[in-house]
Chain A
Amino acid sequence: MKYVIGVLSEDKPGVLSRIAALIARRGYNVESLSVGHSHIEGISRFTMVVEGDERVVDQIVKQLDKLIEIVEVRNLSQAPYVERWIMLIKVSAPLEIRPHVLQTAEAFRGKAVDVGGDALVFEVTGDKGKVEAFLSAMRPFGILEVASSGAVAMQRVGFEGKVSGRCEEYELKLA
C-alpha cells in the first residue's frame, strides 16, 4: 500500500542528504520525494510517497522523527488529505494533428505552456491518477519529454487531528 508522509524540517544544509541516507540505509521504498518552503520561515516541507505495509510506514515515521532537524512528521494517509502532482509534458504535435492533441489535452484541463513548430508543452496538475491518465492519453501522439514534481500534499481542513504542535510552537518563538 502507498502512504503519503508530510515532513517539516529546519531548512539547513545536509537535511535532504540525511533523509535520503536514512531512506537508503533502511531500504525504504520511496516513490516520490519533493521539497519546498513551508508557511514558516526557516522550515521546509517534504512530501514523501512510500510503498510498504503499516509496520514499515510506522518505522519510517519514527526513524525520520529521530533526525534532530526534523520538527514534525505526519502520516497524512491516516485522514483525508489533498495531494497534487504537477507535470510538464512535451508532446509531438505536427500541424496536421495539432487540433486532436489540443482537444485531448482540453479534456484533462491540460494547459499548453509552450508552442513550437512540431511539438507542444502541456502543464497538467492533479492527483497521481489524473496525471497518469493524461500521460496515457498523450502517448499515442508521441511523448518527447516528461518532468514531474512528485506529490505535494497536506491534510484536509478539519482533519489535522491531534498535531504535535511543535511547529506552531516554533513559529510563535520566532515571532
Chain B
Amino acid sequence: MRLTGAQMIIKALEEEAVETVFGYPGGTVIPLYDALYDSKIRHVLMRHEQAVGHAADGYARVRGKPGVCFVTSGPGATNIVTPLASAYMDSIPVVVIAGQVATKVMGTDAFQEADIFGCSMSMVKHSFLVKSASEIPKAVRGAFYIATTGRPGPVLIVLPVDVQNEEGEFVYPPKLEFPGYHPERNEDLTMWGDVVEAINKAERPLLLLGGGVIHSRASAAFSSFIDEFRMPVATTLMGKGAYPEGNFLSLGMAGMHGRPAANRAILEADLVIGVGTRFSDRTTGRATRFAPNAKIIHIDVDPAEINKNIRASHFLIGDAGKIISSLHREIKARDRSTWLKDIEKFKQEELCDDDSSYITPRVLLMSLRKMVEPQQIVSTEVGQNQMWAALHWQVKFPGTFLSSGGLGTMGYGLPAAIGAAFALLDRPVLCISGDGSFLMNVQELETCVRYNLPVKLIVINNSSLGMVRQWQELFWNERYSATNEAPSRSLVEIARGFGVKGYRIERSHEISSTLQMALSQEGPTLVECIVPTKEKVFPMVPPGGGMDEMILEA
C-alpha cells in the first residue's frame, strides 16, 4: 500500500489499536493532522503541550495502554520534555510523535527548530529520528514495543515535515528484533534459594511495594501472598494501591512523609522485601540508616536498580507477579504473632485527634474518601496536597492513584485527570490540588469544559507555596522567600471564568454538603477549600536525615 509518511503514522497507530491521541497542532505537523482528519482515532486538543504529555501519562496509567501525543517542532517539542521526564521517572509508557523542520534545513536554526532528539536523550527510554518514510512502520512498531515491555517508559519519534509528505510503501512489520533489546533475557533467579531461606527465617518481615507491582498488574498475586503469610505491607508513593490500604496488614506509604507505622516497621523489621521500587531517597531517607536491622531482598524487572541506591542482601530480577506467585508456592507459613502485635501497636499509636477549630486537609480528604466509591480514581498535584493525599487518601485498587512520583511535576494533576477521564469514559475523576499547582496548568480547565469532562477538582488553598514554605519554616529560620504569595483572585472566580462551577469551603461544617454538591454535578466542578497557611505535612523525616529522626509535629 502506497501512503505518505503522515498517513503511515496514522495507519500504524490504527494497527496498534490506538483510540485516543492527545495533541496540539503546529507548522511541522500539519501533514500529520491532515492524515488524522480521515481517521477514527479521537484527537483531544489540550491547551499546552505540557498538558498533552501529562494527559497521555494519566491515560496510560488508567487505560493500561500507551498514551500517545502529537506535538509540533521547536516550542511544541520542548514543552513536552517535562512530561517525558515525568513519565521516564515513573516508568509510564507514553509515545510522543514530535514534528521537526524538513531534513534539508535541519541544523540551520530554521524557524521552530529545536534539537528535541538531542535534548531529550537522557529522559526517554528510547527515541527515533526518522529520516525517510520507509522507516516509519518500524519506528512506530518499535516505539510501542519498547514503551510497553520490560520496564515501561516513554519513547519519542521525531518526524521531519518532509518525511511526512514523502510517499512510500507501507508494510507493518509483524515482529521486530532489536539486537540490543531483549528484556525477557534479564531474568535472574540465581539467588532464589537464598531468598526463600531468608523469607522463611524472617521473624519480622516487611514488604515494601513500589510502582512496579502496579505496572506488572501483580496486585492480586501479592494480596494472596500477603494474606496467606500475614506479612505487613508498606508502599512507596508509586506503590499506593498495590495492596488495599485500610486492611489490617497495610501500613500505608513509607518515607519522608510516610505514615509513622510504616516507617517504624521499616526500622524494626529484620527483613525488608522491596518489590518494584527504586528505593528512592524520598522513600529511604538517609540510605545508611534505612532498615538498620534488616536484610534486604530486592525484586525488580530492571537489573540496574539492584544495588543502585540500597545494597541488597539478595535479589531477583524479573516480573513481580511471576516471581511472587512462584515464591508463594515455596514459602512456609510460620507464626509471627509477636511481630503482628507490634504492627498493631504502631498503628494504634499513630491515631490522632483533629483540632476541629479549623479545616485540616486530613479531615477534608477523609470526608471526601467516604463519599466516593472504593475504585474512585484520583490524581494529585505536587507538594503538600500530594503528601496529604498520600497520607490520608486510602487507595483500595491498583492504578487508581495518579501522582508524579519521581519528578514531582507541579501541574501534573489536572491534565492527568483529563487523560484518566478519557480512559474511563463518563466516570468521574478527582484531582486533589493546591493553589500553587492548580495555577500551573490552569488553562486545562478550558479543556474540561470543552469536552464536558467529569473532572472534580479539590483545591486545598493555603495561600502559599506550602511545601517550600514548610521547609523554610522548619529549616530556614522562617524566611519565607517567594512562598507567601496568595493567588490574587479566588480560585472559584477563576474557575467560573472558564465556565467551571466553583464552590468554596471555609468552615468545617461546610465540608460534607459542599463536596456532595460538587460531586453530584455533571461535568467539571471545582471546590476551593481554605486551610490555614501554617498547616504542615507531618510526619516528616528531615531532608538528609534518617528515618529514625522522623518529626511527628512542630
A residues with CB within 8 A of B: 9-10, 13-14, 17-18, 21-22, 25, 43, 55, 58-59, 62-63, 65-72, 164, 166-167, 169-170, 173
Contact = CB atoms under 8 A, between A and B. Distances in A.
Contacts of A59: 304, 307-308
A124 B126 CA distance: 40
A128 B127 CA distance: 36
Contacts of A66: 302, 304
A21 B127 CA distance: 14
B111 interface: no
Contacts of B185: 164
Contact of B307 (A58, A65, A170): A58
Interface residues of B, number: 22
A71 B182 CA distance: 9
Contact of B181 (A58, A68, A167, A169): A68
A21 B124 CA distance: 12
Contacts of A18: 121
14 contacts: A14-B129, A21-B121, A43-B179, A59-B304, A63-B304, A65-B303, A67-B180, A68-B180, A68-B181, A69-B180, A166-B179, A166-B180, A169-B179, A173-B177
Contacts of A166: 179-180, 182
A21 B181 contact: no
A47 to B, nearest CB: 17
B122 interface: yes
Contacts of B308: 59
Contact of B179 (A14, A22, A25, A71): A71
Contacts of B307: 55, 58-59
Interface string B112-125: 00000110011001
A62 B307 CA distance: 11
A6 B146 CA distance: 24
Interface of B: 117-118, 121-122, 125-127, 129, 146, 177-182, 185, 302-304, 306-308
Given A14-B117, A21-B122, A173-B177, A62 B303 contact: yes
Contacts of A173: 177, 179
B129 A10 contact: no
Nearest to B186: A65
B122 A68 contact: no
Contacts of A68: 125-126, 146, 178, 180-181
B180 A71 contact: yes
Contact of B180 (A9, A13, A17, A58): A9
- Which of B121, B125, B180 gathers most chain A CB within 10 Å? B180
B182 to A, nearest CB: 7
A81 to B, nearest CB: 22
A67 B146 CA distance: 11
Given A21-B121, A65-B304, A68-B181, 15 more contacts: A9-B180, A14-B129, A17-B118, A22-B122, A25-B122, A43-B179, A59-B304, A62-B304, A68-B178, A70-B180, A71-B179, A72-B180, A164-B185, A169-B179, A173-B177
Nearest to A167: B179
Contacts of A164: 185
Contacts of A10: 179-180
- Which of A62, A63, A65 gathers most chain B CB within 10 Å? A62
Nearest to A20: B121
Contacts of A21: 121-122
A103 to B, nearest CB: 50
A58 B122 CA distance: 19
A13 B131 CA distance: 11
Contacts of A67: 180
A55 B304 CA distance: 11
A11 to B, nearest CB: 11
Contacts of A169: 179
Contacts of A70: 180
- Which of B179, B181, B304 gathers most chain A CB within 10 Å? B179
A170 B122 contact: no
Contacts of A22: 122
- Which of A21, A22, A68, A167 gathers most chain B CB within 10 Å? A68
Contacts of B178: 68-69
A170 B179 contact: yes
Contacts of B304: 59, 62-63, 65-66
Contacts of A9: 180
Closest 7 CB pairs of A and B: A62-B304, A170-B179, A71-B180, A68-B126, A21-B121, A25-B122, A68-B181
B284 to A, nearest CB: 16
Contacts of B181: 68
Nearest to A58: B307
Contacts of B179: 10, 43, 71, 166-167, 169-170, 173
A170 B178 CA distance: 9
A60 to B, nearest CB: 10
Contact of A13 (B121, B122, B129, B182): B129
Nearest to A43: B179
- Which of A18, A43, A63 gathers most chain B CB within 10 Å? A18
B289 to A, nearest CB: 19
A164 B179 CA distance: 12
A10 B121 CA distance: 17
Contacts of B302: 66
A68 B182 CA distance: 9
A129 B303 CA distance: 35
A148 B405 CA distance: 45
